[in-house]
Amino acid sequence: MWKVDRNNIITMTRGDTPTFGLNLTDGNGNPYVPSSGDYIRFALKKSATDIEVWAQIDIPTDTLILQFTQADTKDLAFGNYVYEISLNNDADDYHDTFIANTPFIISEELM
């Protein structure tokens, strides 16, 4: 089970493998067009001030689909985390966190 509410808060059952599609636009509202060297990264932490990243997933710029595997969350404790998603380009020294410090809830599975 998983859901994303209108504030981008994600609730997900530990160990599940959902996919989430991203809709990205530029500052003018036009669809995002990847530049050479762009990459999009999802990062999950226990809190915004935590240094340790509990899960990190690269999102392909050609599909804009965030795909979880069982390994991404199966060993995490149930409870509250925060996540961010950023657009990056190391060649241009570009970093834009477009979803920042947003709640991510790991819920219990029954089996």
What's the pTM?
0.90
Report how far apart, in Å, the C-alpha atoms of 74 and of each of 5, 69, 103 are: 22, 9, 18
Tell me if residue 37 falls in helix, strand or coil.
Answer: coil
Please give the tally of structural domains in the chain.
Answer: 1
| 99-108-5 Cα angle (round to 5) | 30
Close Cβ partners of 54 (under 8 Å, ≥ 6 residues apart): 44, 45, 46, 76, 81
Condensed to tens digits (0 to 9), the pLDDT of residues 45-81 reads 999 999 999 999 999 999 999 999 999 999 999 999 9
Which CATH number do you get for residue 16? 2.60.40
CA–CA gap between residue 74 and residue 55 (Å, rounded): 11
Percent of the chain with pLDDT over 70: 99
CA 23 to CA 53: how far, in whole Å?
24
User: Domain residues for 10?
Assistant: 2-107
